[in-house]
Amino acid sequence: MRFMVMVKADKSTEAGVLPSEKLLTEMGKYNESLVKAGILLAAEGLQPSAKGARVRFSGSRRTVVDGPFAEAKELIAGFWILQVKSKEEAIEWVKRCPNPLEGDSEIEIRQIFEASDFGEAFTPELQQAEARMRAEVAAGTKG
Amino acid sequence: MRFMMLMIPRGYEDAAPGTMPDADAVAAMMKYNEALQKAGVLLALDGLHPPSMGARVSFATGKPTVRDGPFPEAKEVLGGYWMIDVKSKAEAVEWASRCPASKNEIIEVRQVQEFSEFPADVQEAASGFKEMQAAPRRGTAS
Amino acid sequence: MTASATHRAIDAVWRIESAKIIAGVARMVRDVGVAEELAQDALVAALEHWPATGIPDNPGAWLMATAKRRAIDRLRHRKLLERKHEELGHEMELAQEMAVTDFDTAIDDDIGDDLLRLIFTACHPVLSAEARVALTLRLLGGLTTDEIARAFLVPEPTIAQRIVRAKRTLAEARVPYVVPRGDELAPRLGSVLEVLYLVFNEGYAATGGGDWMRPSLCDDALRLGRVLAELAPDEPEVHGLVALMEIHASRTGARAGPGGEPILLLEQNRARWNHLQIQRGLAALARSEALGGALGPYALQAAIAACHARAHTPEETDWPRIAALYDALAALAPSPVVELNRAVALAMAFGPAVGLELVDSLLEEPSLARYHLLPSVRGDFLFRLGRLGEARAEFERAASLTRNERERALLQTRAGRCGDVDAG
């Protein structure tokens, strides 16, 4: 299972204030622990919303509004994507994260859709396809 | 430059666990995704299960506390994202505008921080981070 | 927290920590079977205490300390310890170990070495491939016996027995509990990589629908591969294998159509490829190449996969490079199937006549005699050269060799397109 783990923005991140060296070092160690555990799929920081925009849709019309989005309470400052076996495991990893901001902060954990979530019955065709793919993987000649 | 296009579907904050996207909407979105792919700008994309299947961890100064979703105070939530690699914010906004999104959806465009933009001492403290990033690897010998 | 929520949280902690606990204890007792038992004892203790006390701030350290205390107790009860001189030295080590009660600051290196030892031992060549797979998934992957059984479509008691026997074999063979060095390292590492790749391929071949334990084997193999890459960062073939697995796995979403029919690489919808995963694969390949030296077989296969992964559309594929990589792979790890792949790449790069020349040299290969892809590929080359009568014969032969309905239909369609031309 994959989870997107998002750090909510605050006034500091929106002002473009960089984290302290202490926090950066701690965060670096934490990211390293994720890499060592083989579960880190992605880790990115986002620029403040002042450098961003929002696009609204109405029929064929598009309206673009430049940031910042001061009134938005749910802005994201950065995220990880983790590969784990369960939501509880994702939570456990997030609990081990150093507080990502200097004050109070909140991290949201969301499960990512997998192709398998759109579920199909295991038909005889799928079973045959599986057997065939197994042979082809062994032969190494297919995608 | 890398940008996230964050899909914010109004009402998704109230979606029950196991809510599936509409098949027609998915088909339209797949065409859009293919366009991103063929243009060579697509770096990543994912859909997210609703917040009712998620959790939030708060870091008040002290121990982390966990709440399971849904989160009644959240009026906007993420439904999915794309990450694209383009020349400018304007180009990112242009791509976002081409998304077959509906009236109920907003796409927020946000620039991804590049490691090289940080000052030297920050780069030092965060060394190793660069390898973790999803930046496209241009110019490697292979 | 409710009792069941606490249990689920403890399960999650266990998944994160179990391999390290087993590895740390195994260094002390030098027996992976005993180590696993002692680690399980610590888990039982956690299940007893934590619902009441709450999960400790550092659950890993708690578990490690508990397991190691049990290990000391057990070792002290072993009479052997008193008798052998060298083991006395060992006991002093242990006493020192326990004196360092601050497990929080245990050096990462120590845990890394312990994990490496565990990986190499679980993958010891004295064990059969299937025993190595089961033991590795159990001790390092944290999978339960039931999960392993479901993943490999085998009854649970079979896996349980396989693991018991594997532990006994290791003990009886008196396998030294060390990280192999010098001349020993390459073949032993090869054994580890073989296990990971076996697990990956088992998962890769499973198209899902039914039990998703099977495709999740790819995740297990990838995670262990990435862990190994951090533990053995100077081993190019480790990075090569990780790269190969990441890039293959990146295509999971595009490999099968809605009815489960397989979709050929060149016909896949590349928007369905996992591009973050491709980037990770390319990064792993770059690490392998940066270590210098000629690419090994895993890195070569990864480099071939990378050529496809870099092409935004099939038309952009760097076929000459792929052909060159197959040349290198054929030199290193020759096989008729590699040659067949090389022929396909050569034809894409330099035209069907070049490919045909190579394929013709494979016609007497006994291992390809009943392999439908040989006549299928030959038929394709002949078709592109305008030799339609011969092409039709080859497609019909290929159709007769394949057991897959869809493939047969596809080949018969291709035969039909050759028209009613006499052979020659």
Q: How many residues are recorded in chain B?
A: 142
**Which residue does chain B place closest to C325, by CA atoms?**
B142
CA distance C313 to C266: 9
The pLDDT of residue B40: 82
- Report yes or no on whether pTM surpasses 0.90: no
What is the structure's pLDDT at C104? 43
Rg, chain C, Cα only: 26
pLDDT the model gives residue C102 = 47
- When pLDDT is cut at 50, 70 and 90, the band that residue B142 belongs to is very low
Q: Residue B117 — pLDDT band, cuts 50, 70, 90?
A: confident
Report cis status (omega within 30 of 0) of the bond before C176.
no
Q: Where are the domains of chain C?
A: 1-106, 108-224
The tens digit of pLDDT for each residue in B58-81 reads 997 678 999 999 999 999 999 999
Supply the pLDDT for residue C114: 93
Record: contact C270-B37, CB cut-off 8 A: yes
From C302's Cα to the closest Cα of chain B, the distance in A is 11
- Band the pLDDT of B129: cuts 50, 70, 90: low
Q: Look at C227 and A38 and tell me if their CB atoms are within 8 Å.
A: yes
CATH annotation of B2-114: 3.30.70.1060
Judged by a CB distance cut-off of 8 A, whether residue C302 touches chain B is no
- pLDDT of C70 reads 93
Q: What is the complex's ipTM, to 2 decimals?
A: 0.87
User: Which pLDDT score is estimated for C112?
Assistant: 87
Beta bridge partners of C75: none
Whether A107 and B57 have beta carbons less than 8 Å apart is answered as yes
Judging contacts by C-beta atoms under 8 Å, the chain C residues touching residue A85 are 12, 15
Q: What is the CATH number of domain A2-55+63-139?
A: 3.30.70.1060
The A residues from 22 to 41 touching B (CB cutoff 8 Å) are 24-25, 27-28, 31-32, 35, 40
> Would you say C116 and C136 are in contact if contact means Cβ atoms under 8 Å apart?
no
What's the Cα-to-Cα distance from B29 to each of A41, B23, B49, rounded to whole Å?
A: 24, 10, 17
Asked whether the beta carbons of A102 and A21 are under 8 A apart, the reply is no
Instruction: Indicate the domain borders of chain A.
Output: 2-55+63-139
pLDDT exceeds 50 at position A141: no
pLDDT of residue C22: 97
Of C188, C290, C201, the closest CA to residue C248 belongs to C201
Considering only CB atoms, which chain A residues are within 8 Å of C15? Answer: 84-86, 89
pLDDT of residue B49: 96
Determine the Cα–Cα distance for residues C215 and A114; give it in Å rounded to an integer.
12
CB-based contact (8 Å) between A105 and chain B?
yes
Percent of chain B with pLDDT over 90: 58
Mean of pLDDT values over A35-49: 93
pLDDT band at A120 (very low <50, low <70, confident <90, very high): very low
Q: What is the pLDDT of residue C81?
A: 55
Q: Under an 8 A CB cutoff, do B44 and C271 touch?
A: no
Size of interface A-B (CB pairs under 8 A): 175
A67 pLDDT higher than 90: yes
List per-block mean pLDDT (blocks of 10 residues) for chain C, which spans 424 residues.
Answer: 82 92 94 96 96 90 95 80 58 58 55 92 96 96 92 93 96 90 92 96 70 78 93 96 96 80 85 90 96 95 97 93 95 92 95 96 91 93 96 95 82 88 50
Closest among A84, A85, A48, A41 to A66, alpha carbons compared: A48
Short-list B34, A128, B86, B106, CA closest to C261: A128
Chains near A with 3+ CB pairs less than 8 A apart are B, C
**Could you tell me the residue ranges of all domains in chain B?**
2-114
